[in-house]
Amino acid sequence: MRSSHHGDGYDVLVVGGGIIGLVTAWRTAQRGLRVAVVDPEPGGGAARVAAGMLAAVTELHYGEELLLGLNLASAARYPDFVAELEEASGRETGFRTCGTLAVALDSDDRAHLRDLHALQQRSGLESQWLTGRECRRLEPMLAPGVRGGLRVDGDHQIDPRRLAAALLTACERAGVVLHRERAERLAVVHGRAAGVVLAGGADLAADQVVLAAGSLSGRLAGLPDGLAPPVRPVKGQVLRLAVPAPYAPFLGRTVRAVVRGGHVYLVPRENGELVLGATSEEMGWDTTVTAGGVYELLRDAHELVPGITELPLTEVRAGLRPGSPDNAPLLGPTALPGLHLATGHHRNGVLLTPVTGDAMAALLADGELPEEARPFTPHRFPSAADSARQEQPA
């Protein structure tokens, strides 16, 4: 195990207290290292908005076969991960093994779903083709015009807000120190990451620094030239509705579709919340909820499940996914000794939480990434780092 040479410093300092930063801190503290997290609002970030689908199979895309391996590894770990986290924190996470139904509303959608089904079969994944009638038998609230669908019993869900709250408590109980302040600048001493300077001016020293600040990861001052991670914000608008008792159970599982090229999904929670997402917009740092975004989500969801217009609308919010050039995360060491990344999880941050925590803790405690995480080191983007930073606002 690696240990600090600084008498008063930490072994590991994690910049960013979203679910990725917190799981990294928790797992690393469990390995006996002295860990701190720097974030003005730990437990916040994109998880405040995310729907929490664990959709390794239904969100499979062409060209992302390598990412599929990591997604599946993380999905397989979820039940044990949740059991351990709930035990460690004394909090429930809303994990539901409810499965997913992806449906087609017209012949174009059906062709798209057929292609996805073929790709899933070639990849050895379990999914079952259903007729429109079979889809409606499974989910009676679906529109009568549904043309067919894919039943994926292995794609589950969790409540990301409760996941973040549980991780925060687990961190505190494991001795992780929380600095509720913004990290202003990376400290580099003798060519090595040595800690951070907080917005209030205080210095925090550490042997190793992990940059896990989601879409903001490239904005930490003091990163040497070429080392800013190539992450960009990808805006997602998400609505929350309530399912009053007379309407329950409104949906039994996550229902999703691609309508006019955009993804729409409805995630029913056990507590009666129904999450409706999500737009995907390249709008820089803008997190405005727009009439157009809300209109499109409601229009598409209404085509899918007409009865949603009866439900109370309880919340609308926009968040920023940390997009990377190949949609896969950046995990592991950078060219600056002592500086590591755990960011760029894009559409899969919640799904990849367990495997990220395990990979980062192994790296930080033993000095080596596990085999499954090695294809995702930042070194695969030697030149993208510079251009991503230049695109960001001052």
Question: Which CB sits closer to ligand GLY, 236 or 268?
Answer: 236
How far is Cα 274 from Cα 266, in angstroms, rounded to an integer?
Answer: 6
- The alpha carbon of 216 is separated from its chain's Cα centroid by a whole number of angstroms, namely 14
Residue 239 C-beta: closest distance to ligand GLY, Å: 12
- By beta-carbon proximity to ligand GLY, the closer residue of 10 and 265 is 265
> Residue 203 forms beta bridges with which residues?
197
> Would you count residue 236 as binding ligand GLY (CB under 6 A)?
yes
Angular region, 161: left φ>0, alpha ψ -120 to 50, beta rest: alpha
- Residue 96: CB minimum distance to ligand GLY, A: 16
Query: 37 pairs with which residues across the strands?
Result: 14, 178
The correct pick among 321, 332, 339, 343 for binding ligand GLY (CB under 6 A) is 321
Q: Please, which residue, 267 or 339, has the CB nearer to ligand GLY?
A: 267
State which of residues 186, 212, 255, 278 lies at the interface with ligand GLY (CB under 6 A). 278
Q: Measure the CA–CA gap between 186 and 231, rounded to whole angstroms.
A: 17
70 near ligand GLY, rule: CB under 6 A: no
Residue 53 interacts with ligand GLY (CB under 6 A): yes or no: yes
Give me Rg for the CA atoms of the chain: 21
Query: Smaller CB distance to ligand GLY: residue 50 or 227?
Result: 50
Among 18, 21, 43, 277, binds ligand GLY (CB under 6 A): 277
Interface mask toward ligand GLY for 81-120; x: CB under 6 A: ----------------------------------------
Distance of closest approach, residue 158 Cβ to ligand GLY, in angstroms: 12
H or E stretch including 294? helix 291-304
Total residues in contact with ligand GLY, by rule CB under 6 A: 6
For 83, other C-beta atoms within 10 Å of its C-beta total 12
Closest-approach residue to ligand GLY (CB): 347
Beta carbon nearer to ligand GLY, 174 or 283: 283
How far is the C-alpha of 286 from the C-alpha of 35, rounded, in Å?
32
By CB under 6 A, tell whether 347 contacts ligand GLY.
yes
Name the minimum Å distance from CB 359 to ligand GLY: 20
Tell me the CA end-to-end span of the chain in Å, nearest whole number.
39
Q: What is the DSSP string of 57-125?
A: TTT--TT-HHHHHHHHHHHHHHHHHHHHHHHHHS-----B---EEEEESSHHHHHHHHHHHHHHHHTT-
Residues in contact with ligand GLY by the rule CB under 6 A: 53, 236, 277-278, 321, 347
